[in-house]
Amino acid sequence: MKETKKLIPFPIIKAASEGYTLAIECILKHYEGYIAKLSTRILADEYGNGYYFVDKDIQEQLTTALLKMIFNFKI
């Protein structure tokens, strides 16, 4: 069967758009896995072995973009 994704409740979205810290942290926590997945890169050494790592610059850019979307959200 298809797994359903949990949605962020509307009151939390509304509170985050109004600047409440706990609501913003809740949204960031909800998306942290997705942000980590998007910012994961493969680094190859001189022998051709691949290593996965989270690019902190990309992770920071994605988190900043999410924060901008939260504060610009119009209800």
Q: What is the pLDDT of residues 8-36, one digit of tens each?
A: 999 999 999 999 999 999 999 999 999 99
Integer-rounded Cα radius of gyration of the chain: 16
The ranges assigned to domains in the chain are 10-70
CA 31, CA 16: separation in Å to the nearest integer? Answer: 14
Structure pTM? 0.82
- DSSP state, residue 9: P
Residue 63: which of 37, 39, 35 has the closest Cα?
Answer: 35
- Residue 8: what pLDDT? 93
Residue pair 24/71 in contact by the 8 Å Cβ criterion: no
